[in-house]
Structure 1
Amino acid sequence: MRIKEYRSHFIQELSPIYDEAEVESFFYLILEDKRKLKRIDLALQNDLGFSENEIQNWNIIVEQLQQEIPIQYILGETNFYGLNFEVNENVLIPRPETEELVDWIIESQKLEVQSRSLGKKTDFIGENWRVLDIGTGSGCIAISLAKNLQNFQVFAIDISEKAIVTAERNADKNNVSIHFIKTDILKLINLDELQTSSFPVSIKYDIIVSNPPYVRNLEKAEIKKNVLDNEPHLALFVDDNDALIFYKKIAELALKNLSKKGKLYFEINQYLGKETVELLTKMNFKNIELRKDIYGNDRMIRCEI
Structure 2
Amino acid sequence: MKIKEYRSSFIQQLTPIFDEGEAESFFYLILEEKYQLKRIDLALQPDLVLSENEINNWNIILEQLKKEIPVQYLLGKTSFYGLDFEVNPNVLIPRQETEELVQWIIESSNVKAKSQGLKIVDIGTGSGCIAISIAKNIADSKVFAIDVSENALATAQKNAEINNVVVTFLNKNILETTDLEQQFDIIVSNPPYVRNLEKQEIKKNVLDNEPHLALFVDDNDALIFYKKIAQLALLNLSENGALYFEINQYLGKEMIELLEEMNFKNVELRKDIYGNDRMIKGTK
Same fold (TM over 0.5): yes
- Once the two structures are superposed, residues 108-131 of structure 1 have per-residue CA deviations (whole angstroms, 9 ceiling, x without a partner) of 1124357x5xxxxxxxxxx34200
Residues of 2 paired with 1:112 and 1:97: CA distance?
A: 24
- Residue 147 of structure 1 aligns with which residue? 136
Note if 1:187 corresponds to 2:166: no
Matched, 1:138 2:117: no
- Structure 1: runs of 5+ lacking an equivalent: 117-126, 193-202
Which residue in 2 is equivalent to 1:103? Answer: 103
RMSD of equivalent CA atoms: 0.9
Q: How many Å separate the matches in 1 of 2:224 and 2:274?
A: 26
Counterpart amino acid of residue 37 in structure 1:
L
What amino acid maps onto 1:170 in structure 2? N
State the alpha-carbon separation in 2 of the partners of residues 110 and 40 from structure 1.
37
Paired residue secondary structure (1:191):
coil
Counterpart of 2:235 in structure 1 is: 256
Q: Which amino acid aligns with 2:75?
A: L
Contact 2:187–2:243 (CA<8 Å) still a contact in 1? yes
Indicate conservation of the 8 Å contact 2:187/2:242, yes or no: yes
User: 1:175 aligns to what?
Assistant: 164
Inter-partner Cα distance in structure 1 for 2:229 and 2:41: 49
> Contact 2:110/2:139 (CA < 8 Å) preserved in 1?
no
Partner of 1:121: none
Alignment of 1:227-266 (within 5 A): 227-266=206-245
Which residue of the partner structure matches residue 5 of structure 1?
5
Partner of 2:15: 15
Matched residue type, 1:158: D
Deviations 1:241-276 (A, max 9, x none): 000000000000000000111000000000000001
Please identify runs of 4+ aligned residues in structure 1 that moved more than 4 A.
none
Seq. identity, %: 71
Task: Read off the aligned partner of 2:112 and give its amino acid letter.
Answer: E
Show the 5 A alignment for 1:1-305: 1-113=1-113, 127-192=116-181, 203-305=182-284
TM-score, structure 2 normalization: 0.98
Aligned residues: 284
| AA aligned opposite 1:300 | M
- The offset of 1:301, in angstroms, is 0.5
CA distance in 2: counterparts of 1:106 and 1:90, whole angstroms: 27
**C-alpha contact 2:113 2:139 (8 A) present in aligned 1:** no
- Measure the CA separation in 1 of the matches of 2:34 and 2:12: 21
Q: Aligned partners of 1:302, 1:288: CA distance in 2, in Å? A: 6
Q: Give, as a single letter, the amino acid of the residue that structure 2 aligns with 1:262.
A: G
Q: Distance in 2 between matches of 1:4 and 1:276?
A: 50
Cα shift at 1:16: 1.0
Determine the C-alpha separation between the residues in 2 that align with 1:128 and 1:105.
Answer: 14
**Counterpart-to-counterpart distance in 2, 1:286 and 1:103:** 21
SS at match of 1:94: coil
State the one-letter code of the partner of 2:36: K
